[in-house]
Amino acid sequence: MLKEERQAYILHQVNLHNKVLSSHLSEQMQVSEDTIRRDLQEMAQEGKITKVHGGALSNSFHVGITSRDVYSVEEKRTIALKAVQLVQDGMFVLTSGGTTIIELARLLPKDLQATFITPSLAAAFEYTNHPNIEVVMIGDKLSKNAKIAVGGDAIRRIRQIKADICFLGINAIDINDGLTDNDWDVVEIKKAMIDTSKKVVALSISEKVNTTEQLTICPVDEIDILITELPPDAAPLKPYQKKGIRIL
Amino acid sequence: MLKEERQAYILHQVNLHNKVLSSHLSEQMQVSEDTIRRDLQEMAQEGKITKVHGGALSNSFHVGITSRDVYSVEEKRTIALKAVQLVQDGMFVLTSGGTTIIELARLLPKDLQATFITPSLAAAFEYTNHPNIEVVMIGDKLSKNAKIAVGGDAIRRIRQIKADICFLGINAIDINDGLTDNDWDVVEIKKAMIDTSKKVVALSISEKVNTTEQLTICPVDEIDILITELPPDAAPLKPYQKKGIRIL
DNA sequence: TTTGTTCGTGCGTTTTTATGCTTAAATTCG
DNA sequence: CGAATTTAAGCATAAAAACGCACGAACAAA
């Protein structure tokens, strides 16, 4: 059997079943696993498949939901980096959706072992890329624009969880009006998340600090930690610090 | 034997068998391998064949390697088009994940008003792009590779639904072994989906017909409709038709 | 016919490629 | 953590390719 033949067959199998085992292929084609591994490596380099421990995965399904240009990524990355430090092994972490949360998801250390729970499709998707993280998706009717599960069932489910920490990507925060948003269903979900978590962390780019939307989620004193891309002692954050909120 | 004669013969052989070995040709025509190699090289330069180590491949064979998008999109699209016709306004539709289902999701008519329920992240995401479709995500612990919710809670939730129709993207179907898969949790989910649906539709490219994986989902007679990219009267599908399964 | 040129072919020799094996390191999993 | 599996790297070997060279046939021109 020619090398190219073999690789064509492998590609075929991979795309057929979404995954293949080196051992299996080796047996099927009567060549050593070494050869298979070299084939897989070669094909992976050409971008045809994704090589993993023990075999290979199809590339087609892997690329999906995410990746699209995000507004002020740099700031959000800064925020996410600070947030990551709050997560420790074994924690139950509840998160909302939103682009800042997605950045957080991407920056989680590879060896972190924790359980992440979210009603957001995109966040859930990102979490599944981390091998050591257990991901729980909160299901229910999906909100079309936020792409997160909303509704009574989702809320009930969230309230059943006792999370160690909750990360909220927020749209507007104001010292008087508190946390606000513009989608009724999302507000309900965030309320539930806050209620059921021991510690609440609000993530927001400084642009959104001291702005207000139509619907109230909660007053500022219900959040424990506020993270922006600014240094903790920046002037605009002083009022929040005075209210007893920890700034990172 | 003249050079031209020889090359004509080689071309014939290549197109007939999709591959030739230099050694084989050399023996057949009683010339040195050097000569064969020179012939192959010449023909390769003219674009008639593709030369590889040890022999040559037909050019048509090689195109399979170059196409690197989703595997057999065309077939899957054909399948999806047939499947779409089964959905009508007002239906409750339950679907699994998988690339064929994603194609189905993309091909749904814009004006379709129905409720789609799925444990698959990618499928749910696609459904949310349709303004008139109500999307319900089944939540639970997420399976890392399939990116679908698995576990007792998801199963319980699925069983509470009485769906009009259920679309399953399947990995392997065999007349004796029935529907099979290679992921325990996914199998459980699919079982639940089948049990709770009035009508079960299996979507599969013909390559997966008459193949078997390790874990059984259900015998073939539990599915109502089988859709492949082949015409309904294709030979490989006859046995299924005899069992009373409708073929599309 | 003779001579010189070109082409096709085969034969050694040297390189390159493909593959399997062994061993040590890495990874996974109970 | 420790056992079992998987991988990576180096080495050995055989097969194939590349290269130069030589021989002989075909062919053209003198």
How do residues A22-34 score in pLDDT, each as one tens digit?
Answer: 998 998 888 999 9
Note whether B91 contacts A: Cβ–Cβ < 8 A: no
Structural contact between residues A205 and A79, judged by C-beta atoms closer than 8 angstroms: yes
Facing residue for A141 by CB, picked from B134, B145, B157: B134
A53 burial (CB, 10 Å; 0-12 / 13-18 / 19+) is exposed
Note whether B36 contacts A: Cβ–Cβ < 8 A: no
CB contact under 8 A, A139 and B128: no
pLDDT score of B66 more than 70:
no
Residue A42: per-residue pLDDT? 87
State which amino acid sits at residue B145: N
pTM of the model: 0.75
The DSSP secondary-structure symbol of A218 reads: E
Q: How far, in whole angstroms, is CA A122 from its chain's centroid?
A: 7
- Length, in residues, of chain B: 248
CA angle B119, B121, A40 (to 5 degrees): 115
Over the stretch B199-224, which tens digit does the pLDDT of each residue have? 999 999 888 899 888 899 999 999 99
Note whether A59 contacts B: Cβ–Cβ < 8 A: yes
What is the Cα–Cα distance from A20 to A48, expressed in whole angstroms?
13
CB contact under 8 A, A137 and B139: yes
Instruction: Write out the two tokens for B99.
Output: 């690339």
Q: Which of A47-56, B7-16, B81-90 has the highest mean pLDDT?
A: B81-90
Instruction: Write out the two tokens for B24.
Output: 């084989």
Over the stretch B110-152, which tens digit does the pLDDT of each residue have? 778 999 999 999 999 989 888 889 999 999 999 987 889 999 9
List, in sequence order, the alpha helices (H) in chain B: 3-17, 22-29, 33-45, 59-66, 73-84, 99-107, 121-127, 152-160, 184-195, 238-242
Considering Cα of A62, then A65, then A66, then A67, what sign does the dihedral take? positive
Mean pLDDT of chain B: 88
Q: How many Å apart are A21 CA and D7 C1'?
A: 14
Q: What is the mean pLDDT of residues B29-51?
A: 88
- The parts of chain A modelled with pLDDT lower than 70 are 16, 60-73
For residue A12, list chain B residues with Cβ-Cβ distance below 8 A: 64
What b/e sequence results for B214-224 when a residue is b if at least 16 CB atoms lie within 10 Å of its CB, and e otherwise?
ebebbebeebb
Structural contact between residues B84 and B108, judged by C-beta atoms closer than 8 angstroms: yes
- At B70, the pLDDT band (50, 70, 90 cuts) reads low
H or E element, residue A147: none
pLDDT score of B69 more than 60:
no
Q: How many CB pairs under 8 A join A and B?
A: 122
Q: What is the mean pLDDT of residues B156-175?
A: 94
Residue A68: per-residue pLDDT? 38
Structural contact between residues B97 and B119, judged by C-beta atoms closer than 8 angstroms: yes
What is the Cα–Cα distance from B153 to B160, expressed in whole angstroms?
11
B24 burial (CB, 10 Å; 0-12 / 13-18 / 19+) is middle
pLDDT score of B159 more than 60:
yes
CB contact under 8 A, A5 and B149: no
Work out the minimum CA distance from A212 to partner chain B, whole angstroms.
28
CB contact under 8 A, A136 and B138: no
Q: What is the mean pLDDT of residues B160-174?
A: 94
Residue B65: per-residue pLDDT? 39
